Amino acid sequence: MSVAVTAITLSIISVERFLAIVWSINTRMPKKITLLMIISFWVAGFAIGVPSAVNFSTIIHK
């Protein structure tokens, strides 16, 4: 799960940096939108990671 969240976070950081360069650097994102983005990253990462965790199994060879 944390790998998915890390990948999503890095993608969003690069989008945010792109927007900061294209738009004025003085323009700040509202805290409400920032909090919503952070929560959505974790929910998306959790949604991506859960199927792997549910289907994970250990095979013991004798």
Q: What is the Cα–Cα distance from 2 to 27, expressed in whole angstroms?
A: 30
Q: Over its length of 62 residues, how does the chain's per-residue pLDDT go in tens digits?
A: 567 677 877 887 888 788 778 776 666 777 888 788 788 877 887 888 787 777 777 778 87
Neighbours of 38 (CB within 10 A): 12
pLDDT of residue 18: 82
Cβ–Cβ under 8 Å, residues 12 and 45: no
User: Quick check: 41 and 16 in contact, CB under 8 A?
Assistant: no
CA 23, CA 29: separation in Å to the nearest integer?
11
CA distances (Å), origin 39, targets 8, 26, 28, 34: 12, 25, 19, 9
pLDDT of residue 25: 64
